[in-house]
Amino acid sequence: MDYSTRISERMWNLPDKGELESKREQTFIDDIVQKNHIERELLEHLDGVHTVFDGGAGCGRFSILLARQGLQVTHFDISRPMINKAQELAEAAGVLDRITFVQGALEDLSAYADRSFDLVISFDAPVSYTYPQQEKTIRELVRIAKKRIMLSVSSRLGALPYLANPIQKNQFILDRNSPDGWVQWCLDSREQMIRDFAFRKEPLMETLKTGLMGDMEEARAAYDRGEAPWSITYHFMPDELERILAANGVRDISLAGPGAFARTIPNEILVKIMNDPAQKKDFLDFCYRYDRNPYVCGMGKDNLFARGEIA
Ligand SMILES: C[S@@+](CC[C@H](N)C(=O)[O-])C[C@H]1O[C@@H](n2cnc3c(N)ncnc32)[C@H](O)[C@@H]1O
């Protein structure tokens, strides 16, 4: 297992990860938009699908959704706290018997034969956490898929505005009273962040060029001290993701950038929309339409989404 996988594994195995990740859509509006987009894509593309592999399935947001549709799902994740939370939620949803839980790293899918699953999915960037093996991971995910693949990976064009704006997460806070430490940190540090802010071109140019977020040397040193630093993640360009999928035999590829529209709207307006069920429904309908436009797909808030058919 290489260093970056070990760093990622330690971070995702922090004990409170499952609990926090399962509350994302109650806490942050960008998560509502992104997960809603993926849910719609999934439910519209289940023809001929009976079996699913969900790689980096987390606390089961999509594995449970698909099990509820009557599908047989393999829920695969590197994190025990995530899997524990997913098992608890699957039991509450009455679908435990349709989900097989496997703890493992996407860097090694050798246990699965070619074309083992009708549908292979991996959402909210697990592939990006497999850096430097992200291309091999995509190749392996395609290999075990029989009919269709859907991925969302970290987006380079989408992440750069985030990197340049230390208070961007504040735009998406839905519940200002959430006990999530991240929310309170965003609220408490906002003024300080603005005071200390200076635009620095160099790190942006570097990420634009390399697609890498995070400093490997710093992360290694923190890991060696026993800490759980944020892992090094690889951010894809849209044409690059399309090229990798096509080179592995995926056809009819569609790209989308969930969150591209929402990121143009300030927090006060987003919160008003989210707190009115009729407006929220119309807004999410519109986002789903707008964010699938290929000209904005790179500007998805965190993720670049791709769907394609296996040749
Ligand atoms: C942001 S969560 C997304 C969860 C879920 N797919 C969703 O969309 O709600 C990322 C997940 O990827 C998992 N992960 C990260 N690196 C991984 C790896 N190398 N192999 C397998 N899972 C990994 C984490 O444990 C975490 O559950």
For residue 102, what is the enclosing H or E element?
strand 99-103
Instruction: Give the largest CA-CA distance in the chain.
Output: 55
Point out the least confidently predicted range of 59-68, 70-79, 87-96, 175-184.
Answer: 175-184
Q: What integer pLDDT is reported at residue 214 of this predicted model? A: 82
Residue 301's pLDDT band (boundaries 50, 70, 90)? confident
Q: What integer pLDDT is reported at residue 217 of this predicted model? A: 86
Residue labelled with tokens 């995910």: 141
List alpha helices for 45-106, DSSP H. 63-68, 80-92
Which tokens hold the place of 66?
């698909």
Which amino acid residue places its CA nearest to atom 18 of ligand 1? 105
41 lines ligand 1 (CB under 6 A): no
Which tokens hold the place of 156?
């380079």
Q: What integer pLDDT is reported at residue 293 of this predicted model? A: 96
Question: Could you tell me the pTM of the whole model?
Answer: 0.96
- Domain carrying residue 89: 3-310
Residue 1 has pLDDT above 80, yes or no: no
Q: What percentage of the chain carries pLDDT values higher than 90?
A: 87
First-to-last C-alpha distance (Å) of the chain: 31
Q: Which atom of ligand 1 is nearest to the CA of 13?
A: 25
* Inter-residue contact 174 to 274 (CB < 8 Å): yes
Tally of domains in the chain: 1
Which tens digit of pLDDT belongs to each residue from 20-64?
889 999 999 999 999 999 999 999 999 999 999 999 999 999 999
82 lines ligand 1 (CB under 6 A): yes
In degrees rounded to 5, what are phi and psi of residue 249?
95, 15
CATH code at position 24: 3.40.50.150
31 lines ligand 1 (CB under 6 A): no
259 lines ligand 1 (CB under 6 A): no
